Structure 1
Amino acid sequence: MKLRHERRKRESGRKSSNWIITFSDLITLILVFFILLFSMSQIDLNKFKAAVGSFQDRADGESATEQTDRGRDQHAKKAADSQDDLLKKINDYIEKNQLSGLITAKRDERGVILVLQEAVLFDSGKADIKDQAYPLLHKIAVLLKTVSNPINVEGHTDNRPISTYRFPSNWELSAARASTVIGYFTEKEKLDSSRFLAVGYADTKPVRDNRTESHMKENRRVEIVISKLNTKK
C-alpha cells in the first residue's frame, strides 16, 4: 500500500510539472507575439512620421499649384521674350533691306505680323501678283527661311462689294490673294508647304473704319503672320 501511494504521488508530481512547462511555453509564445506587434507598430510609426515630414516640407515650401503657376509664368515670359527678339530681328531686316515703305511689322497675341498693303502686291480687284512685287516677296522668303514657325497668310479687303465671275464676293478675293502669296513661297522659293495656312477674312477684320478712301486703303492688305511656336515644356 505504501509503495502504491508513493507511485501515485510521483505520477501526480510529474503531471503537475508537465502542466507548468506547457503554460510557460504559452506565455513565451504570447510574449513573442506581442514583441512582433510592437515591432510592427514601430515600423508603421516611423512611416507615419516620414509621411508627416514630407507634408510639412511641402507646406513650408511651394504647393504643387504654386509651382505650376510659376512654371506657366516663366514659360509665358520666355515666349514673350522670344517674340520680342523676333520682332527686332525683322525690323532690323526691313531697315537693312530698305523695305520700310513697303512692309510694316508688329506683334500681337497671334505672333509677329508683316503687313503689306494691297497696292504693293495686287491691282485693284485682282489676285495676280504684280511683276514688281516679286523682288519684295523674295526678300520676305529669305527672312522666313531663317525661322521655323508656322505661318498664316491672311487676305483682307475693304467693305466695298465685288461681284465678278472669278470673285463673286470679297471672301473669294481675299482667300485667293492669300493663296497666291503662299503659292509663290512654296513653288518659287521652295518653302515647306506644311508651314502655311491661307485665310480669307474679306472685310470682317478692318484696322480702320471704311468712311474714307485712305482708311479703305489701309484695310486692303495681306498679313503674313509668323505664329508663335508651340513649346510646352
Structure 2
Amino acid sequence: MRRREIRRSEKKGAPKWMVTYSDMVTLILVFFVLLFSMSQIDLVKFEAISESFRNRMIFDFYPSAIQMDNPTEHSSDEESGKLSNEFETPTQLDDNTARDEKADGEVSSLDQLLHEVEAYLDENELNNVITATRTDQGVELVLQDSILFNSGDATILESAKPFLNKISSLLHNIPNPVHVEGHTDSRPISNYRYPSNWELSGARAGSVIRYLLEKNDFDKSRFSSVGYADTQPVAPNTTPANWSKNRRVEIIILEDSKANNKKDRE
C-alpha cells in the first residue's frame, strides 16, 4: 500500500517584518501630518488666546500663587469674586471725570492768560521785541538777548530796562509764578567771569530776576531761574541769524496748578 503524502500548507501573506515596518511608516506619516496641522496657525484664534492670557481678570480669583491654609473656608469668597477686582463699585474706581474737568479748567485759564498777555503787548507796542506763546507750562515771553545784553555779558542794558519795566507792570497784574530761562548759541565762551555757556545762560536768567525784584515789591518765592546754555536751540546753530534766535531769555508765566505740582514734587 502506497504511503499517503502529507502536504504542508504554504503560508500566504506578507512576512512578519512587513507588518512592523508598515506600522512604523504609518506612525511616521501620522507624525508628519500632525506637525503640518500644527504649523497652520489660525491668527484669529491665536490672538483670542493671547488676549485671554493678557487679561488680568483671569487671575483675579487667585491673587496669590500660594494656596490658602484652609481653602474650604475661603472658597465661597473666591467663587463670589470678593477677592478680585471684577466687582469693584464705581466709587472704588479712579474718578476720571474730576481730572477731565480740571484739565478743561487749566486749558481755559491758560487761554485767558495768553489773551491778557497779548493784549498788554499790543497796548504797549512790545510785539516787535517780545513774542508770547502758550506752552504746556503756561505763557512764554521770549526776549532776544540783543535787546537785553551785550555779547558775552549778563549785565542788563539801559535800553532794555523800559521793556523789563513794562513786563514788571504785567506781572503786577498777574500773580502767577514766574520761571526765567537763559539760552545761548553753540559758540563756546571762556573768560574769567563765564568759563562756559552754562554760567553765561544762568547769569542772564538771574540778572533778569534780580532787576525785576529790585524795581518791584514782588514775592521772591514766585520766581525761579535756570540756565540751559545751548542745549535747547530753536534753530540750527549754522548761521548768524540762527545764533541770534538761540540767544534768548524766556520768561514763563506759569499756570498756578503747574507751580503747585512742582512744589509737591519737591
Q: Secondary structure at the match of 1:223?
A: strand
Name the structure, 1 or 2, with higher relative contact order (CA <8 Å, separation 6+). 1
1:212 is displaced (CA, Å) by: 1.4
**Richer in helix (by share):** 1
Corresponding residue pairs, total:
172
Per-residue CA shift, 1:136-188, capped at 9, x if unaligned?
A: 10000000111121111100000000001000000000000000000011111
Matches within 5 A, 1:2-151: 63-64=90-91, 68-151=95-178
Q: Secondary structure at the match of 2:153?
A: coil
* 1:55 alignment partner in structure 2: none
Gaps of 5+ in 1: 1-57
Matches within 5 A, 1:153-172: 153-172=180-199
Query: Structure 2: how far apart are the matches of 1:122 and 1:71?
Result: 46
Query: Structure 2: how far apart are the matches of 1:173 and 1:164?
Result: 10
1:66 is displaced (CA, Å) by: 6.5
Query: Structure 1: how far apart are the matches of 2:236 and 2:100?
Result: 36
The partner residue of 1:173 within 197, 200, 211 is 200
Q: Secondary structure at the match of 2:95?
A: helix
The partner residue of 1:195 within 194, 217, 222 is 222
* 1:219 alignment partner in structure 2: 246
Judged with a 3 Å threshold, the aligned counterparts in structure 2 of structure 1 residues 171 and 76 are, in CA distance, closer, same or farther, namely: same
* 1:50 alignment partner in structure 2: none
The partner residue of 2:237 within 206, 210, 219 is 210
Gaps of 5+ in 2: 1-87, 262-266
Deviates more, 1:129-138 or 1:185-194: 185-194
Q: Secondary structure at the match of 1:123?
A: coil
Larger CA Rg, structure 1 vs 2: 1
Q: CA RMSD in A?
A: 1.6
Per-residue CA shift, 1:31-65, capped at 9, x if unaligned?
A: xxxxxxxxxxxxxxxxxxxxxxxxxxx97xxx236
